[in-house]
Structure 1
Amino acid sequence: MALKATIYKALVNIADLDQQYYGELNLTLAQHPSESDKRMMVRLVAYILNAQERLEFTKGLSEDGEPEIWLKDYTGDIELWIELGRPDETRLRKASHKSQQVLLYCYDEKASEVWWKNHQHKLRDYKNLSVFAINDEQLAGVSTMIERTMQLQATIEDEQLWLSNSDKSQLIDVIKLK
């Protein structure tokens, strides 16, 4: 019998001072059985950093041809494609041809540094690709906020994210690599 996804609910009050976006997000995160808590929280952080109308989680790990998060226009064309981790260059090339903008959020610093050194020369040619790195220690702080039902406050200012719940608060610096 196949394992099923674990469902998490997140109510996020967001104030993005950089983009002038303010709202309340009522999100459902399905954690794939093979997905770590850290990776799930990277998905949540990436969503919060790019929050806007029509942004949605995809089938992610369950579907090879889809990103983790995307934004489609009203005709179905992909405006924003968000990837996580260290995908191969072929996947990023395909994404850059299918979407107006591609964002990649790397985590697991040591592995990401090696991956970046091996791929940065190829990825520089993709004009619509931006690559970011998330600090492991900060991500570990965010992972301590995981509950089946989460109530979070997010403030984005000067490209920094403050994420908090009733007990904890964590600054997340997202470093732009490209």
Structure 2
Amino acid sequence: MALKPTIYKLNLDLADSDRHHYQNYQLTLAQHPSETAERMVVRILAFALNASEALTFTKGISTSDEPDIWAKEDNGTIALWVEVGQPKPDRIRKAVNQAAQVRLYAFGKTADTWWNIEGKDMPSSDKLQVARFQWQNVVDLAQNLDRTIRWSISIAGGEMYVDTGSGVEHVVLGGF
């Protein structure tokens, strides 16, 4: 018998003054049995950084032909492909060929090593943006996840602050 995903309800108050996007989102996230809490946190942070009316979570980790998050045009073309983790260059090359924009958010203790090995083989494209979350930020946010998550995220001047109700985490997003 296959394990079922764990369902989370996310109430996200987003104030992104960099993009002039202010919205409350009521989202449902499915955490695949093989997905860590840290990976799910990065999916939430990536959603906040790219939030729009068209942005949606996909089947993600349980399918190889979809990203973690995407935005599609009315005609079905992929406007934005958002990938989290440490994917192989072939996966990112596929994304660059299918989407108007691709954003990759890496994370983890081994992110630097992964980039040193895989980074040179990533496609060189104006469509691709790569960034990395600081591992300790992700770990701190993942420690107190409840099945109902109520976060307020503020983004201003390239800085991200996540209010979890029990504290505020200054999330650092950097490059390689």
Q: TM-score surpassing 0.5?
A: yes
Q: Which residue of 1 aligns with 2:163?
A: 164
Q: Which residue of 2 aligns with 1:38?
A: 38
Across the aligned residues of Structure 1 and Structure 2, the Cα RMSD in angstroms comes to 1.1
CA contact 1:145–1:168 (8 Å) conserved in 2: no
Structure 2 equivalent of residue 136 of structure 1: 135
Using the alignment, how far apart are the partners of 1:140 and 1:16 within structure 2?
Answer: 23
Counterpart in the other structure of 1:125: 124
Aligned 8 A contact 1:106 1:131 in 2:
yes
State the secondary structure of the residue aligned to 1:2: coil
Could you say what secondary structure the match of 2:172 adopts? strand
* Structure 1 residues 12-91: aligned runs within 5 Å: 12-91=12-91
In structure 2, the residue matched to 1:9 is: 9
Q: Deviations over 1:25-84 (max 9, x none)?
A: 111110000000000111011001111111000000111100000000111100100111
List alignment gaps of at least 5 residues for structure 1: none
CA contact (8 A) 1:130 1:176 kept: no
CA positional deviation for 1:126: 2.3
TM-score, structure 2 normalization: 0.96
- Rounded to whole Å, the distance in 2 between the matches of 1:176 and 1:116 is 10
User: What secondary structure is seen at the aligned counterpart in 1 of 2:146?
Assistant: coil
Moved more, 21-30 or 168-177: 168-177
Structure 1 stretches of 4+ with a deviation exceeding 3 A read none
Shift in Å at residue 124 of structure 1?
Answer: 5.5
Counterpart of 2:107 in structure 1 is: 107
Q: Distance in 2 between matches of 1:6 and 1:58?
A: 15
CA distance in 2 between counterparts of 1:89 and 1:122 reads 6
Question: Does the 8 Å contact 2:133/2:174 carry over to 1?
Answer: yes
Shift of 1:171: 0.8
- CA drift of 1:145 comes to 3.7
Q: What letter matches 1:57 in structure 2?
A: F
Deviates more, 1:115-124 or 1:49-58: 115-124
Identical pairs, percent = 36
SS at match of 2:51: coil
Q: Secondary structure at the match of 1:53?
A: coil
Contact 2:134 2:172 in 1 (8 A): yes
Q: What is the alpha-carbon distance in structure 2 between the residues aligned to residue 16 and residue 147 of structure 1? A: 24
